[in-house]
Amino acid sequence: MGVRGALAQHPGQVNGHVPVMLGRVLELLAPALTGPDPVLVDANVGLGGHAEALLKAHPALHLIGIDRDPTAIERSTARLAPYAERVTLVHAVSDELPTILSRAGRPRINGALFDLGLSSPQIDEAARGFAYSYDAPLDMRMDPGQELTAADVVNGYSVAELTRILREYGEERFAARIANAIARERARSPITTTKRLADLVRDAIPAATRRTGGNPAKRTFQALRIEVNQELAALERALPAALDALAVGGRVVVLAYHSLEDRLVKRVLAERSTESGPPGLPVPLEAHLPTFRLLTKGAELPDDEEVARNPRAASARLRAAERIREG
């Protein structure tokens, strides 16, 4: 379960919030933010840790921060108050980016940051229902105003649908066993708490498998969270929209926290940074030339020191690219 920040006591961090791979994010974005009026979109602003550091480092920067969680907007508003004149915060899903930029009168941007996954408060506040380590209502909505909850999925989806979600979004090899166990249990009474679901998943997985790989409910909870919040679908629309909006010289940095996100990011960036014409042409056609270049070789990982200081950074995978031409 990817977590995109941690609440830990660390010198120099406001409210103890430690943004993941902060130094590298700042280093990669800096060359794109040197103009007279740079604009950056933070597509998952969370607690505002990266945003605050970027605003501090670039006194001319205007930052547009997006988050679907109203609590995140509230907290980042407070944190970024010293920079309020240079900040626009929007309660929305990241795939609404084109509309947000249009309304802000900023069709072109110089930087984009995607810090995916859960924020620390979402997982640490038991009532949100994201964590298998607390007993709480089975909720998992990043935006509490939306209708669909994890309980709706668990109790309302067919066995086939549950199996697909667990297999695709949780990469759970015992997806069918778990889905059938859920169906048997909900026939007795609706499954409405995280503990009951976590216990059920543990019992559905063979004992030999349960002894390794952390909590056996981890993959099921990840799959449900992705389904409830349509995370991959939103990213699949939002990332290309951000790339389209970047000016030449603009840069994008993405922090992903599980393999599904990272594979999607890798594919999208590869498509934009690879020649698309037929092979064998003596001179590549301009329309087929890549519009981006990769700034990272593969996915970069946090170093051992950061992981020791902030264990929740361990699953982070960073990729970045720069726009090199219009297309």
Q: What is the CATH number of the domain that holds 263?
A: 3.40.50.150
- What pLDDT is stored for residue 200 in this prediction? 95
Q: Residue 76 and residue 89: Cα distance in Å, rounded?
A: 8
- What pLDDT is stored for residue 311 in this prediction? 84
Same domain, 23 and 116: yes
Region for 64 from its dihedrals, namely left if φ exceeds 0, alpha if ψ lies in -120 to 50, beta otherwise: beta
Same domain, 133 and 213: yes
Is residue 1 situated within a structural domain? no
pTM for the whole structure:
0.88
Burial of 1 (0-12, 13-18, 19+ CB in 10 A): buried
Looking at 229, 246, 276, the residue that finishes a domain is: 229
Same domain, 191 and 180: yes
Q: Residue 178 and residue 181: Cα distance in Å, rounded?
A: 5
User: Is position 95 annotated in a ligand binding site?
Assistant: no
User: Is position 115 annotated in a ligand binding site?
Assistant: yes
User: Is position 49 annotated in a ligand binding site?
Assistant: yes
- What pLDDT is stored for residue 125 in this prediction? 56
User: Is position 156 annotated in a ligand binding site?
Assistant: no
Is residue 145 situated within a structural domain? yes
Same domain, 71 and 89: yes
Same domain, 170 and 204: yes
- Domain range for 243 is 6-121+231-323
Same domain, 190 and 208: yes
- What pLDDT is stored for residue 313 in this prediction? 87
Is residue 274 situated within a structural domain? yes
- What pLDDT is stored for residue 13 in this prediction? 42
Same domain, 17 and 108: yes
Below-50 pLDDT ranges, the chain: 1-16
Same domain, 153 and 249: no
User: Is position 304 annotated in a ligand binding site?
Assistant: no
Looking at 214, 229, 244, the residue that finishes a domain is: 229
Same domain, 160 and 214: yes
- What pLDDT is stored for residue 267 in this prediction? 97
CATH number for the domain spanning 216: value is 1.10.150.170
Provide the number of structural domains found in the chain: 2
User: Is position 65 annotated in a ligand binding site?
Assistant: no
